[in-house]
Structure formats: structure tokens, C-alpha cells
Amino acid sequence: MNRIVLAAALSAIATLPAVAGEGLMCSGADGVEFHLPLAGGTGLYPLGAEITVGDQVWTTDAQAKGATLITPAQSIGIDDRYYFDFADPNLEGIVARIRLFGATGGDEPAIGGTLAITERGAWAVTCDVG
């Protein structure tokens, strides 16, 4: 039953209209934060991403000054697991890997997992849906 509640919550994210502020907001130690606004409709597709580790930023926004540009490479949601990969702009290699897992224990799902940045490190994260 808990898997159904979590799946429903994440399915609701995937079917929401594409409006700023809807998606996953996650954080961890060492100033790690990322925001993934998600597209509505079928599938699990990030409209963009902004990942911050300390004073370093990776983003899909080509207009962002001082940030490293990334592009969505692949994403999938299976059962209670959610995977997002972001590549360099030429799609030559994966720069960031986000692996999330969910569970429910009441009205709100609990979502957490890891963020790994190539040649930078890996961190545990917890997430909110909003």
C-alpha cells in the first residue's frame, strides 16, 4: 500500500503542468542542493536542473554566469526508484548522477538518495516534492 501512495505522489508530479516550482528540491551536507522541475505528461523528464555544491554550480540554464552547463541525458522511474543523469553539453560524458528512492509512512512520501558529480564527489540527499 505504501508503494502505491509514493507512486501516486511521484506520478502526480509527472502529470502536473510544467510550471516553475513543481518538482523535486533536494539537499545534503557540504552545501549540496539541487532543484529538478519536472515536465507534465507521460514519463519522468526534468525541464531543467540546478545543482549546487558549496560555491560551484551546474545548470541547464545556458544564461547562468559562472556555472557549468549540463544537459539532461536520461531519466527513468521504476517502482520506488528514480534515476536522473546529466551530461556535458556535447553528450560526451555523464557529469551528474542522481539516484533517488522513496517510501511512505503516512500522508507524505519520504524521498532520498545520492547525488554524484564526476571528479567532485558523492553526497546523500533528502528531497521534498513541491
Structural domain total, the chain: 1
Q: For position 73, what pLDDT does the model report?
A: 95
CATH number reported for the structural domain that contains residue 7 in this entry: 2.40.128
| Cα 98 from Cα 124, distance rounded (Å) | 10
Q: What is the mean pLDDT of each run of 10 residues along the chain (130 residues)?
A: 43 40 86 89 83 95 94 90 95 96 82 95 92
Q: For position 107, what pLDDT does the model report?
A: 77
The beta strand positions in the chain, using DSSP E, are 23-28, 32-37, 50-53, 56-59, 68-69, 71-78, 81-87, 94-104, 109-117, 121-129
Q: For position 98, what pLDDT does the model report?
A: 97
pTM: 0.80
What residue numbers bound the domain in which 54 lies? 2-129
Q: For position 21, what pLDDT does the model report?
A: 43
Q: For position 6, what pLDDT does the model report?
A: 41
Nearest Cα residue to 4 out of 57, 72, 80: 80
The answer to whether 125 and 27 are in contact (CB under 8 A) is: yes
Q: For position 8, what pLDDT does the model report?
A: 42
